[in-house]
Amino acid sequence: MKRTRILLVDDHAVVRQGFKMILGAQADMEIAGEAANGREAVELAAQLNPDIVVMDVAMPELNGIEATRRLVAANPHIRVIALSMHKDSVYVREILRAGARGYLLKDSGADDLVKAIRAVAGGESYLSPAVSNAVLDDYRKHVTNPIDLLTSREREVLQMLAEGKTNKEIAVVLNLSVYTVDAHRGRIMEKLNLHSINELVRFALRNGLID
């Protein structure tokens, strides 16, 4: 079994020690090294070439956001999981923009840490459930077009709703249950911040979904 090699970066030795105990107990993981600040992290990553870097966001000398930016630019194959006590969207946005593939809150359990590392090592992304809403809200504010928030199926349902079809009619066309269509409708209204069918129709007109 190929082990996932991990570099731990945190300015608190006691935090690193705790992580080493948790991760050292996993058969598919090994600690490649540890760093106490962002600058050390960038240097060590170049030397050790780990698979994953668990990166504290707030550190002296060079913070985790800037360290992630430099590390990913120099070693694009290394995947960073940010570690923070902040749920605020600004922290999440900035470190994801810097190149992190995961964001884990410091008060997460040991299982979440292990889950995050396995997910990111496997090519997926990982966000602590508590920050997912912050990310969605932030994305909603920064997307160029809110329609980008919708899945392909949601756009399909949106068009039919705007054309005046009932939930039941849409259900027949798409071979879905009325309850599923209703759930899609609720998500569409929530994602687009719409409060009535009239608003929904206006949105569809503005975005060229209906004439």
Cβ–Cβ contacts within 10 Å for residue 186, how many? 10
Token pair of 155, please? 């756009």
Give the Cα separation of 9 and 15 in Å (integer): 9
pLDDT tens over the chain, length 211 residues:
789 999 999 999 999 999 999 999 999 999 999 999 999 999 999 999 999 999 999 888 789 999 999 999 999 999 999 999 888 777 788 888 899 999 999 889 999 999 999 999 999 999 998 887 777 677 666 666 778 788 888 989 999 999 999 999 999 999 999 999 999 999 999 989 899 999 999 998 888 788 7
User: Can you tell me whether residue 154 is helix, strand or coil?
Assistant: helix
∠ CA(68), CA(25), CA(20), 5° rounding?
Answer: 40
User: Can you tell me whether residue 111 is helix, strand or coil?
Assistant: helix
At residue 145, φ and ψ (nearest 5 deg) are: -135, 120
Q: Quick one: pLDDT at residue 104?
A: 94
Give the Cα separation of 96 and 139 in Å (integer): 12
Q: Quick one: pLDDT at residue 61?
A: 77
Q: Quick one: pLDDT at residue 140?
A: 65
Q: CB under 8 Å to 16, separation ≥6 — which residues?
A: 8, 10, 34
Contact 64, 82 (CB under 8 A): yes
Token pair of 137, please? 């809200």
In order of 37, 70, 78, 183, the CA distances from 178 in angstroms are: 54, 50, 45, 9
How many Å from the N-terminal Cα to the C-terminal Cα in the chain? 57
Q: Quick one: pLDDT at residue 87?
A: 83
Give the Cα separation of 160 and 30 in Å (integer): 52
Q: Quick one: pLDDT at residue 150?
A: 87
Distance of CA 14 to the CA centre of its chain: 27
Domains of the chain, with CATH numbers? Answer: 4-141 (3.40.50.2300), 146-206 (1.10.10.10)
Distance of CA 207 to the CA centre of its chain: 27
The residues that bridge with 6 in the sheet, in sequence order, are 31, 52
The candidate with the shortest Cα–Cα distance to 83, out of 109, 107, 57, is 57
Amino acid at 19: F
